[in-house]
Amino acid sequence: MLLLLLLFLTAHIQAQTEQPISIDSCYAKARRNYPLIKQFGLIEKSKSYSLDNVSKGYLPQVTVAGQATYQSDVTQLALNENLSGMLNFEPISKDQYKLYGEVVQPITDLFTLSNQKDLVDINAGVEAQKIEVELYRLYERIDQLFFGMLLVELQIEQNEIVKKDIIAGIEKTKAAIANGTSLKSNLSLLKAELLKAEQRTTELKAGWKSYADMLSLFTRETITTETKLQKPPVPQFSNAINRPELQLYELQKNAFDVQSNIVNTKNLPRFSLFFQGGAGRPALNFLSNNFDMYYFTGLRLNWNISSFYTSGKEKDILQFNRESVELQKETFLFNTNLTVQQQINETAKTEALIKTDEEIIALREEIKNTARNQLENGTISAIDYVSYVNAEDQARQNLLLHQVQLLMVLYNNKTTTGNHN
């Protein structure tokens, strides 16, 4: 019973391994396993901490201070002789002390802190979008590996067809030799060509493994010789640009807009409520030379007029930066549209080549089949037959190459325009 269970599990695992893998699954796994993906979590934590710190600005600001001083002179009252005898006035000490605490509740800042929170949020979005731009480059790298493997797979299959043609030629030649219509040298030539085809299979499989090893590193999936690739569907060509770089440019411009709002708020007067209480000598009664408790509260105005000196230039700098980002966006769109136009031309050319390849293959196959019968009858040599087989093989190889090139151009178009979703 245990042996049957082990056999079932082994067959199940082998069946899963042999399932063809799609290019979309490679995209998803490469993104999920790329080390840079962890940066999103760090950005989110940094954003949370920064927002929490900004929110502390809504809380009352508490200050504790103290001082001990000695001064060269103090305030004294000049009394005439009649009053000096009636009043017992103690002079103020030259050493004075004060210890107090102050609580300030901002009022105006409650309305300006929202801009700072917006800036934290947008800056976090900018950093996250930069990672999206970097991760987007994975599409191009996966395309190169996947379609490289796909082309090699198709070439291996085509090479097997060539081997079957050569084997068929060998059988025909053996029959011709038995009939006395062919030489043994023709048989040797065909066997040598079969060995060359075997060598080509070995080379192609080695190239396939190189691609597979690199794709395994990206997807963290074991890709064996039993693994097959699922031929991707032919996508529609697109001209609409939806690249992640465009969203990055917009976020950067939004950040400059928020910074401009913060510059404006720096010029506003600051109102706040405050309460101060403490003890000192003298306290609020500066004629008393005793330690005493005191407090006072009220509304405070603080207006930094000097901020007007630099605010204009700061806004100009932000405007220059905004225009620079807009220029980068225009340049990016220009280059992207240029690439799309090249892909349009490449698509039209490859489609025309595929159509011609199919016509050439039909003719080459007809010639090869005729040559096979002639080989059996001894009317052509093995060299001639091999040349016809190779000519058909070359035509089929060209078709495979052009078909994969067409898929690559169309998927490159998806990557160039940002229309993978």
Whether the model clears a pTM of 0.75, i.e. scores above it, the answer is yes
pLDDT of residue 311: 80
Angle, alpha carbons 385-387-391 (nearest 5°): 120
Taking residues 71-83, what's their average pLDDT? 67
pLDDT tens, position by position, 93-128:
878 888 988 888 888 776 678 888 888 999 999 999
Share of the chain above pLDDT 70, in %: 92
Confidence of residue 304 (pLDDT cuts 50, 70, 90): confident
Taking residues 48-52, what's their average pLDDT? 84
pLDDT of residue 88: 57
418 Rama class: left (phi>0) / alpha (psi -120 to 50) / beta = left
Taking the alpha carbons at both ends of the chain, their separation in whole angstroms is 48
Statement: residue 242 has pLDDT above 90: yes
Confidence of residue 383 (pLDDT cuts 50, 70, 90): confident
Listed residue (219, 232, 231) closest to 27, CA to CA: 219
Statement: residue 80 has pLDDT above 80: no
Which is higher by pLDDT, 84 or 171?
171
Q: Is residue 263 within 8 Å of 311, Cβ to Cβ?
A: yes
Statement: residue 92 has pLDDT above 70: yes
Statement: residue 294 has pLDDT above 90: no
Which is higher by pLDDT, 2 or 35?
35
Statement: residue 131 has pLDDT above 70: yes
For helices 109-179 and 184-219, the axis angle rounded to 10 degrees is 170
What's the Rg (C-alpha) of the chain?
Answer: 42
pLDDT tens, position by position, 262-291:
888 888 888 888 899 888 888 887 777 888
Sole residue written with tokens 């060598």: 199
Q: Is the dihedral of CA 354, 355, 361, 364 positive or negative?
A: negative
pLDDT of residue 15: 45
Statement: residue 53 has pLDDT above 90: no
pLDDT of residue 18: 58
Distance, in Å, from the CA atom of 43 to the CA atom of 59, rounded to the nearest integer, reads 25
Please write down the HEC assignment for all residues of the chain: CHHHHHHHHHHHHHHHHHCCECHHHHHHHHHHHCHHHHHHHHHHHHHHHHHHHHHHHHCCEEEEEEEEEECCCCCCCCCCHHHHHHCCCCCCCCEEEEEEEEEEEECCHHHHHHHHHHHHHHHHHHHHHHHHHHHHHHHHHHHHHHHHHHHHHHHHHHHHHHHHHHHHHHHHHHHHHHHCCCCHHHHHHHHHHHHHHHHHHHHHHHHHHHHHHHHHHHHCCCCCCCCCECCCCCCCCCCCCCCHHHHHHHHHHHHHHHHHHHHHHHCCCEEEEEEEEEEEECCCCCCCCCCEEEEEEEEEEECCCCHHHHHHHHHHHHHHHHHHHHHHHHHHHHHHHHHHHHHHHHHHHHHHHHHHHHHHHHHHHHHHHHHHHHHHHCCCCHHHHHHHHHHHHHHHHHHHHHHHHHHHHHHHHHHHHCCCC
Confidence of residue 87 (pLDDT cuts 50, 70, 90): low
Confidence of residue 9 (pLDDT cuts 50, 70, 90): very low
Which is higher by pLDDT, 135 or 109?
135
Asked if the 20-61+107-270+308-417 domain carries CATH number 1.10.540.10, the reply is: no
pLDDT tens, position by position, 342-367:
999 999 999 999 999 999 999 999 99
Share of the chain above pLDDT 90, in %: 40
Statement: residue 10 has pLDDT above 50: no
Taking residues 169-183, what's their average pLDDT? 82
Statement: residue 6 has pLDDT above 60: no
* pLDDT-wise least confident of 11-20, 318-327, 360-369, 376-385: 11-20
- The torsion angles phi and psi of 95, rounded to 5 degrees, stand at -95, 125
pLDDT of residue 82: 56
Q: Is residue 162 within 8 Å of 193, Cβ to Cβ?
A: no
